[in-house]
């Protein structure tokens, strides 16, 4: 199977070809609009000088003609002789001499091809001019026309091609080197590694791509860390009830006891709750479609579900509707309410909902002991608990806020914990709204 050329090679060839085409176009336009008019004007002047020289020579006395020929050769690189030029109609001339042939034809009314002749002083070009009833040959040295447009054209093309290849190769490397780094970093992530962050420099698009990749790499790193922490926490928290269950089973072999059986059932319930929390955390990554929800009715039902005769939850919410993932939002707010009930068992709990044209904010406010400022972000990590006994009766499994964070992240929500003025904690869920999904009940 034929291997496809690299992006650097493709870009180098394309850029070099484009540069050469542009150079050819510029040189063609320059030759047509600048060099050709100048060449025609110069050839016409030279043809006029050659015809004038022959006419002057025929009008001069014979004794002064040698001096005139010497001056003409010295100052104008022109020569006169009576011998006719050799006929070489098919020989090739430099481009300028074809312009000179046309100019001579216009001056003399005769179409003649310049004949070249090799002499000790170099190449000479001759033509025959009729004047004074006779034909006189007039020639000019090739060195008189020092311009070499064809050689200049090919030299410029060669140097331009080399320059184009160099610039194209540099540009291609400049573009493809970040892509090669991105490819290597992506492969490392696919192998489970943790690559270095890419430099967010270069062109706007490459910087944006590197920035997006770095964000993805950090998210993958956080997910890998969370997965490792999750597995370690689950194994640790399952080991204790499993050890109690093994001990209880050994005792039951000799002394069956209802108390031991009840303990086994409690351990099984504890393990079941832990596994359920882990499954909730895993389901937090699933996408749930948004549906238009009556927020007042939704939060009223949620407050009723978590209220009890001994302790009710105060709801502060105006009638409004918006499109949200209702199932995920129920689990997020429910976990926040459970945390408030567990850690603020005595004070009042408020469930607050506010809305503006851009955001919907739902808050769970309590009057408990609160959380230290340096722990406000750490409590979102799996199995991170402020209560260090790890007893499910006093501190839960340590997965509640981790589930909240994962559910919020999966739905592009923002969750924050902040101290409440005059004591307590306030947990806020902020949801960005689209104008088409916001309104009052009367508008739907």
CATH code for the domain of 388: 3.30.565.10
What is the DSSP code (8-state) at residue 337? H
Tokens standing for residue 338: 């459970």
Same domain, 19 and 140: yes
Which of 256-265, 382-391, 406-415, 430-439 is predicted least confidently?
382-391
Confidence (pLDDT) at 113: 81
Q: Give the residue-averaged pLDDT of 18-43.
A: 83
Res. 129: pLDDT tops 60? yes
Residue 372: give the domain boundaries.
288-443
Where does residue 167 rank: exposed (0-12), middle (13-18), buried (19+ CB within 10 A)? middle
Q: Give the residue-averaged pLDDT of 26-49.
A: 85
Tokens standing for residue 102: 């046309």
Q: Give the residue-averaged pLDDT of 359-363.
A: 92
Where does residue 198 rank: exposed (0-12), middle (13-18), buried (19+ CB within 10 A)? buried
Nearest 5°: CA angle at 443, between 316 and 301? 35
Helices (H) and strands (E) in the chain, counts: 11, 12
DSSP H stretches of helix in 291-372? 295-306, 326-343
Asked if the structure places residue 268 within a domain, the reply is yes
Where does residue 347 rank: exposed (0-12), middle (13-18), buried (19+ CB within 10 A)? middle
Strands 321-324 and 438-439 come out as antiparallel
- Separation CA 121–CA 118 (nearest Å): 8
Asked if the structure places residue 177 within a domain, the reply is no
Asked if the structure places residue 182 within a domain, the reply is no
Mean pLDDT, rounded, of the chain:
79
Tokens standing for residue 6: 């690299």
Same domain, 205 and 295: no
Same domain, 133 and 279: no
Tokens standing for residue 217: 């790499």
Give pTM, 2 decimals. Answer: 0.48
Which of 15-29, 85-99, 186-200, 397-411 is predicted least confidently?
85-99
Res. 252: pLDDT tops 80? no
Which of 84-88, 133-137, 156-160 is predicted least confidently?
84-88
What is the DSSP code (8-state) at residue 218? H
Confidence (pLDDT) at 2: 61
Per-residue burial over 358-391, b = 16 or more CB atoms within 10 Å of its CB, e = otherwise: eebebbbbbbbebbeeeeeeebbbbbbbeeeebe
Res. 332: pLDDT tops 50? yes
Last residue of some domain: 283, 316, 344? 283
Q: Give the residue-averaged pLDDT of 87-103.
A: 75
Asked if the structure places residue 208 within a domain, the reply is yes
Question: Do residues 278 and 399 touch, judged by C-beta distance below 8 A?
Answer: yes
- Separation CA 186–CA 194 (nearest Å): 10
Res. 352: pLDDT tops 90? yes
Same domain, 108 and 219: no
Res. 353: pLDDT tops 90? yes
Res. 299: pLDDT tops 90? yes
> In the chain, how many domains are there?
3
Which is nearest to 94 in space by CA: 152, 47, 54? Answer: 152
DSSP percent split of the chain into helix, strand, coil, nearest 5 = 60, 15, 25
Last residue of some domain: 257, 283, 309? 283
Query: Phi and psi for 364 in degrees, rounded to 5?
Result: -115, 115
Confidence (pLDDT) at 342: 84
Q: Give the residue-averaged pLDDT of 391-418.
A: 74
Res. 281: pLDDT tops 70? no
Same domain, 332 and 271: no
24 band by pLDDT with thresholds 50, 70 and 90: confident
Confidence (pLDDT) at 443: 42
Same domain, 279 and 292: no
154 band by pLDDT with thresholds 50, 70 and 90: confident
Res. 130: pLDDT tops 80? yes
Q: What is the dihedral of CA 118, 120, 125, 127, to 10 degrees?
A: -100
Asked if the structure places residue 173 within a domain, the reply is no
426 band by pLDDT with thresholds 50, 70 and 90: very high
361 band by pLDDT with thresholds 50, 70 and 90: very high
Can you name the residues that pair with 430 across neighbouring β-strands?
A: 361, 414
Contacts of 425 (CB under 8 A, 6+ apart): 340, 343, 344, 365, 366, 368, 370, 371, 417, 418, 419
Same domain, 292 and 264: no
Res. 358: pLDDT tops 50? yes
- Separation CA 234–CA 216 (nearest Å): 26
Q: Give the residue-averaged pLDDT of 50-55.
A: 88
Last residue of some domain: 256, 283, 310? 283
Contacts of 140 (CB under 8 A, 6+ apart): 46, 50, 76, 77, 78, 79, 124, 125
Res. 88: pLDDT tops 60? no
Which is nearest to 234 in space by CA: 268, 192, 277, 264? Answer: 277
127 band by pLDDT with thresholds 50, 70 and 90: confident
Q: Give the residue-averaged pLDDT of 145-169.
A: 77
Confidence (pLDDT) at 185: 81
Res. 435: pLDDT tops 70? no
Which of 40-54, 94-108, 122-136, 186-200 is predicted least confidently?
186-200
For residue range 380-393, what is the model confidence (pLDDT) as tens digits?
776 666 654 444 44
Which of 91-100, 172-181, 306-315, 357-366 is predicted least confidently?
172-181
% of the chain at pLDDT higher than 90: 9
């Amino acid at each position: 199977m034929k291997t496809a050329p690299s992006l650097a090679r493709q870009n180098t060839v394309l850029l070099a070809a484009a540069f050469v085409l542009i150079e050819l176009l510029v040189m063609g336009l320059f030759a047509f609009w600048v060099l050709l008019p100048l060449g025609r004007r110069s050839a016409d002047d030279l043809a006029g000088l050659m015809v004038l020289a022959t006419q002057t020579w025929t009008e001069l006395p014979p004794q002064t003609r040698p001096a005139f020929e010497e001056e003409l050769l010295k100052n104008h690189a022109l020569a006169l002789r009576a011998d006719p030029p050799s006929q070489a109609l098919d020989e090739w001339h430099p481009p300028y001499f074809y312009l000179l042939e046309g100019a001579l034809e216009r001056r003399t009314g005769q179409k003649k091809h310049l004949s070249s002749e090799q002499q000790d002083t170099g190449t000479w070009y001759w033509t025959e001019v009729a004047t004074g009833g006779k034909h006189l040959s007039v020639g000019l040295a090739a060195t008189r026309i020092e311009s070499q447009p064809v050689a200049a054209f090919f030299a410029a093309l060669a140097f331009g091609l080399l320059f184009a290849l160099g610039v194209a190769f540099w540009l291609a490397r400049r573009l493809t080197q970040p892509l090669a780094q991105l490819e290597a970093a992506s492969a490392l992530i696919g192998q489970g590694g943790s690559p270095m962050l890419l430099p967010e420099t270069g062109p706007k698009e490459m910087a944006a791509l590197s920035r997006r990749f770095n964000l993805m790499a950090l998210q993958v790193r956080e997910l890998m860390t969370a997965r490792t922490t999750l597995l370690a926490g689950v194994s640790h928290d399952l080991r204790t009830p499993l050890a109690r269950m093994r001990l209880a089973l050994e005792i039951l072999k000799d002394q069956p006891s209802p108390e031991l059986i009840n303990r086994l059932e409690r351990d099984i319930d504890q393990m079941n709750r832990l596994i359920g929390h882990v499954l909730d955390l895993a389901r937090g990554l699933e996408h749930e479609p948004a549906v238009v929800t009556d927020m007042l009715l939704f939060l009223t039902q949620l407050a009723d579900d978590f209220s009890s005769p001994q302790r009710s939850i105060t709801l502060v919410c105006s009638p409004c509707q918006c499109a949200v993932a209702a199932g995920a939002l129920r689990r997020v707010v429910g976990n926040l309410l459970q945390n408030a009930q567990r850690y603020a068992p005595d004070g009042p709990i408020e469930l607050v909902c506010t809305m503006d044209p851009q955001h919907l904010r739902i808050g769970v406010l309590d009057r408990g002991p609160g959380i230290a400022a340096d722990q406000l972000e750490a409590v979102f990590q799996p199995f991170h608990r402020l209560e260090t006994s790890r007893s499910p009766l006093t501190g839960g499994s340590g997965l509640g806020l981790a589930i909240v964070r994962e559910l919020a992240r999966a739905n592009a929500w923002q969750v924050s914990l902040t101290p409440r003025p005059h004591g307590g904690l306030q947990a806020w869920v902020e949801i960005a709204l689209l104008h088409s999904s916001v309104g009052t009940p009367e508008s739907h």
